[in-house]
């Protein structure tokens, strides 16, 4: 039997969605033993060395099987998006907060070494400062943000009481290949999907609202490298550290694709964040930094969906 090195650790990824499908290969590439918990069936192209457990998130037996022997567990499951204004708040709390509390208890019972939670920029709400750091006030404007922040508080309490080692990654606005073009989140994917279908993108306000866009590969590398460490700061911002207006992003995608996106301008929503840009100094101090610029990332994702203008074919 080969001797296990420190880098060879066992981890469970709960949720094989957009971020999970980027995280799993990053963990495999680092030499970790990876298990996935997801309600969907195993994808045909998933690496053979990855173990797959098909079960719902609250399924006790499935969760226990997924957690067995795991050093690190990634919680990437959520049933809401930042744009949602919940019709049934109680149901959403059950599906997200209550289910996570039960998941935490099972992590404790299984003596999991560390629980890593994927949170979001939605916990911050609107800020007065140009960039938001991990110590900025948290004033979520949506049920999604409130649920994420509530889960964060329980995780931080468990960490403080030494009941469970936890770490929270607040992720900005991820984009990249693999993001659904028909989803209700991911502005880059929404614009690209509308271009493919020759439909108008619904733009609330004048497009001056700014967002911090981060490529999913950079997100996966942050989760894989810092999440697998035993220690680390309790909360980390994961973003590009730069902001781009929604109008500028649409114009960039139009220039890259060679097609002018159609726009349907609507009134802004009260619960939408006006401007968001992350201070990522703490993550940089841990040895991580984003590698993929927005320009390069947009070229990549446009090419992935066959939307790259012929003049950019060599990029």
What average pLDDT does range 14-35 have in this prediction?
Answer: 97
What average pLDDT does range 248-273 have in this prediction?
Answer: 90
> Can you give the chain as a three-state secondary structure string?
CCCCCCCCCEEEEECCCHHHHHHHHHHHHCCCEEEEEECCCCCCCCCCCCEEEECCCCCHHHHHHHHCCCCEEEECCCCCCCCCCCCCHHHHHHHHHHHHHHHHHHHHHCCCCEEEEEEEHHHCCCCCCCCECCCCCCCCCCHHHHHHHHHHHHHHHHHHCCCCCEEEEEECEEECCCCCCCCCCCHHHHHHHHHHHCCCEEEECCCCCEECEEEHHHHHHHHHHHHCCCCCCCEEEECCCCCEEHHHHHHHHHHHHCCCCCEEEECCCCCCCCECCECCHHHHHCCCCCCCCHHHHHHHHHHHCCCCCHHHCCC
Q: What is the pLDDT of residue 1?
A: 29
Q: What is the pLDDT of residue 83?
A: 65
Q: What percent of the chain has pLDDT over 90?
A: 78
pTM for the model:
0.93
Q: How far apart are CA 248 and CA 294, in angstroms?
A: 12
Q: Considering only CA atoms, which of 208, 305, 212 is closest in space to residue 257?
A: 305
Whether 20 has a pLDDT exceeding 80, the answer reads yes
Whether 33 has a pLDDT exceeding 70, the answer reads yes
Assess whether the region 10-174+212-238 and the region 181-210+243-274+292-312 belong to the same CATH fold: no
pLDDT in tens, 79-88: 877 665 666 7
Whether 3 has a pLDDT exceeding 80, the answer reads no
What average pLDDT does range 264-289 have in this prediction?
Answer: 90
Q: What is the pLDDT of residue 5?
A: 39
Q: What is the pLDDT of residue 134?
A: 98
pLDDT band at 6 (very low <50, low <70, confident <90, very high): very low
Whether 250 has a pLDDT exceeding 50, the answer reads yes
pLDDT in tens, 117-138: 999 999 999 998 889 999 999 9
Q: What is the pLDDT of residue 272?
A: 75
Q: What is the pLDDT of residue 314?
A: 42
β-partners of residue 214 are 174
Q: What is the pLDDT of residue 133?
A: 97
For the chain, the average pLDDT equals: 91
Q: How far apart are CA 124 and CA 146, in angstroms?
A: 10
CATH of domain 10-174+212-238: 3.40.50.720
pLDDT in tens, 148-204: 999 999 999 999 999 999 999 999 999 999 999 988 789 999 999 999 999 999 998
Task: Please state which of the ranges 243-247, 273-277, 288-292 shows the lowest mean pLDDT.
Answer: 273-277
Sequence spans of domains, the chain: 10-174+212-238, 181-210+243-274+292-312
Whether 25 has a pLDDT exceeding 90, the answer reads yes
Q: What is the pLDDT of residue 4?
A: 37
Q: What is the pLDDT of residue 85?
A: 61
Whether 2 has a pLDDT exceeding 60, the answer reads no
Superfamily of domain 181-210+243-274+292-312: UDP-galactose 4-epimerase, domain 1 (3.90.25.10)
Of these ranges, 58-62, 78-82, 212-216, the one predicted with the greatest mean pLDDT is 212-216
- Give the position of tokens 């963990």: 27
């Amino acid at each position: 039997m080969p001797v296990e090195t420190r880098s060879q650790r066992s981890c469970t990824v709960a949720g094989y969605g957009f971020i999970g499908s980027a995280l799993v290969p990053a963990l495999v590439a680092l030499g970790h033993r990876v298990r996935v918990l997801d309600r969907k069936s195993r994808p045909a192209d998933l690496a053979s060395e990855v173990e797959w457990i098909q079960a719902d998130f609250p399924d006790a037996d499935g969760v226990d099987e997924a957690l067995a022997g795991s050093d690190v567990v990634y919680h990437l499951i959520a049933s809401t998006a930042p744009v949602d204004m919940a019709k049934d708040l109680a149901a959403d709390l059950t599906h997200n907060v209550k289910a996570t509390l039960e998941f935490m208890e099972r992590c404790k019972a299984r003596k999991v070494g560390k629980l890593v939670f994927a949170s979001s920029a939605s916990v911050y709400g609107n800020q007065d400062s140009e960039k938001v750091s991990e110590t900025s006030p948290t004033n979520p404007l949506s049920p999604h943000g409130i649920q994420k922040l509530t889960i964060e508080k329980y995780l931080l309490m468990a960490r403080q009481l030494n009941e469970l080692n936890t770490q929270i990654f607040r992720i900005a606005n991820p984009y990249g290949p693999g993001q659904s073009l028909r989803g209700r989140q991911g502005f880059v994917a929404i614009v690209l999907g509308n271009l493919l279908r020759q439909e108008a993108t619904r733009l609330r306000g004048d497009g001056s609202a700014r967002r911090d866009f981060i490529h999913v590969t950079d997100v996966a590398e942050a989760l894989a490298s810092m999440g697998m460490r035993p220690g680390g700061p309790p909360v980390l911002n994961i973003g590009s550290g730069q902001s781009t207006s929604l109008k500028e992003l649409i114009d960039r995608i139009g220039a890259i694709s060679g097609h002018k996106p159609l726009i349907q301008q609507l009134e802004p929503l009260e619960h939408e964040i006006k401007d968001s840009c992350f201070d990522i100094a703490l993550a940089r101090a841990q040895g991580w930094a984003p590698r993929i610029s927005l320009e390069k990332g947009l070229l990549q994702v446009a090419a992935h969906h066959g939307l790259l203008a012929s003049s950019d074919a060599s990029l």
